[in-house]
Amino acid sequence: MKKCLFLITLAFVILLSSFVSGKIGGGDISFRSGKIRDAIFSHDSHVSDIGLKCTECHDSLYITKEKHKKATMLEMRKGVSCGACHNGKRAFDVRGNCSNCHKKD
């Protein structure tokens, strides 16, 4: 039952992304980040360039922008959200590299 629900949600996610626009997840996603520049997440680079599967992030880490669970940098250092991969092993570390993610003026 759990697996079934997951597959339905995944199908929904994939449908949504292909109908709403040509871009996966509707294009780049930006996150308000208090006083510093917004952080930008790119489906294009994570999926097309880096080659990650949708299921690496959906639905365990992320669902939709509307259902976003806000994380702090402190939480990310402990492996939450971007920090699940950006830990200095799998991908560049959230303990530095601020401007890699916080790009927008």
- Residues near ligand HEC (CB under 6 A) are 13-14, 16-17, 24-26, 29, 31, 33-34, 36, 39, 41-43, 45-47, 50, 52, 54, 56-58, 61-62, 64-66, 68, 70-73, 81-82, 84-86, 90-92, 94, 96-98, 100-102
Are the C-beta atoms of 2 and 59 separated by less than 8 Å?
A: no
Round to whole Å and give the CA distance between 26 and 31: 14
End-to-end CA distance of the chain: 45
8 vs 36, beta carbon nearer ligand HEC: 36
Least spacing, CB of residue 47 vs ligand HEC, in Å: 5
